[in-house]
Amino acid sequence: MKTTTILPASRVNNIHEYYFSKKLSQIREMNSKGQDIINLGIGNPDFPPERKVINTLIADVRKKDAHGYQSYTGIPELRKAYAYWYKKYFNVELNAEEEILSLIGSKEGILHISLTFINPGDGVLIPNPGYPTYTSVSKLVGAHIVNYNLDEKNNWEPNFDEIEKEDLTNIKLMWVNYPNMPTGAKASIKMLEKLVKFGRKHDIIICNDNPYSFILNDDYKSLLSISNSKGICIELNSMSKSHCMSGWRFGMVASNSTFINWMLKVESNIDSGQFRPMQKAAVRALYLDANWYKNINKKYKKRRILVEQIMETLGCTIDTRQSGLFLWGKIPKKYVQSEELTENILDKAKVFITPGFIFGDKGNKYIRISLCEEEKILKEANNRIKKIL
């Protein structure tokens, strides 16, 4: 074959294949060789959506007019349902017509927000440890990345005194994520107030990525509940974790109408809306009563106990106050970094656990274990690890 001289865009050289994309490929290969890997790395809820949600999808699929293009902003019923959801659980008033945009998952929203607000060279504040997509998307749009450290001693909250020592003149956007992933730390109202004050002081957009509020947590908080926040703040949310609909790709972004209109300009040039029967089903899910979350969390609580036992077997220490779909643990001092432990467990016990380094160097001494496996599998994982340690 003739060698081509064509090269990819320079932005492709600035990022790497997503860690989990590579790791899941490795796990598939190991499983193809009969190694039976237990995957405790991914936050992929294994419970189905509520039965009435699925029935709503099926009923609308059968309708003749269900299969065409839909609105770029989401059907009106969906935006109204998101507004209802935010009022009921976060006590946030949102104008369904002007302050909400439906997304194909909140991960997509990270790209839309970055394309909307960031010019090449603009600064972006990204937490360390933090969700890797904040960094990769910022690189794709040519941003100047400024990491700010989160520390266990400070309850994984931003240290504003430390951040303000940085040159903030060119910073346009700050990513935050509470309840936090990967650490499970919850936000205090005082900290959310500090974020809004910080954003207004420096004219920096504060974007809270908020998909974990309903998992092992009943103290629902939104950045948009803080007074005078809408003018400078954006919030992403998702149905992936809260409603066990990760594969459906349903998320939302909320902010002031000007920001939403700007984001719509970007979004409408990238996708062509979402399948209407899925939107109808999402509406049904958003109107579920609080018992849905309580019943799901009863199951996660049982799993959480077993994951705590795995952490104990590994010699890790944990903060029992954390919430969310994972458990974050500090590794024993004998390990130089987390990957040393996780690769040993994968190789010998055939159990995949996420090493904390993928979230930034402040995660080097930590691991993350998912709650998205059945109790019997979590028990089996613990037994396998006990045998090889």
Tell me the pLDDT of the chain (389 aa) as tens digits: 566 788 888 888 877 777 888 888 999 999 999 999 999 998 999 999 999 999 999 999 999 999 999 988 999 999 999 999 999 999 999 999 999 999 998 899 999 999 999 999 999 999 999 999 999 999 999 999 999 999 999 999 999 999 999 999 999 999 999 999 999 999 999 999 999 999 999 999 999 999 999 999 999 999 999 999 999 999 999 999 999 999 999 999 999 999 999 999 999 999 889 999 999 999 999 999 999 999 999 999 999 999 999 999 999 999 999 999 999 999 999 999 999 999 999 999 999 999 999 999 999 999 999 999 999 999 999 999 999 98
Name the residue among 139, 136, 107 with its Cα closest to residue 120.
Answer: 139
Phi, psi of 101 (to 5 degrees): -130, 125
pTM: 0.94
Asked whether this chain's domains 11-48+291-388 and 76-286 adopt the same fold, the reply is: no
383: left (phi over 0), alpha (psi -120 to 50) or beta: alpha
Q: In whole angstroms, what is the distance from residue 255 CA to residue 173 CA? A: 14
What count of Cα atoms within 13 Å lies in the side-chain half-sphere of residue 211? 27
If you write DSSP's letter for every residue of 206-275 in order, what string do you get? EEEE---TTSS------GGGSTT-TTTEEEEEESTTTTT-GGG--EEEE--HHHHHHHHHHHTTT-----
Q: Residue 333 in contact with residue 325, Cβ under 8 Å?
A: no
Q: What type of residue is 234?
A: I
CATH 3.40.640.10 for the 76-286 domain, yes or no: yes
For the chain, give every domain's residue range: 11-48+291-388, 76-286
Residue 62, helix vs strand vs coil: coil
* CATH number belonging to the domain at 11-48+291-388, selected among 1.10.3720.10, 3.90.1150.10, 3.40.50.720, 3.40.50.1390: 3.90.1150.10
Residue 321, helix vs strand vs coil: coil
Q: Residue 381 in contact with residue 375, Cβ under 8 Å?
A: no
What pLDDT does residue 356 have?
96
Q: In whole angstroms, what is the distance from residue 210 CA to residue 178 CA? A: 6
What pLDDT does residue 2 have?
64
Name the residue among 98, 89, 255, 65 with its Cα closest to residue 173.
Answer: 255
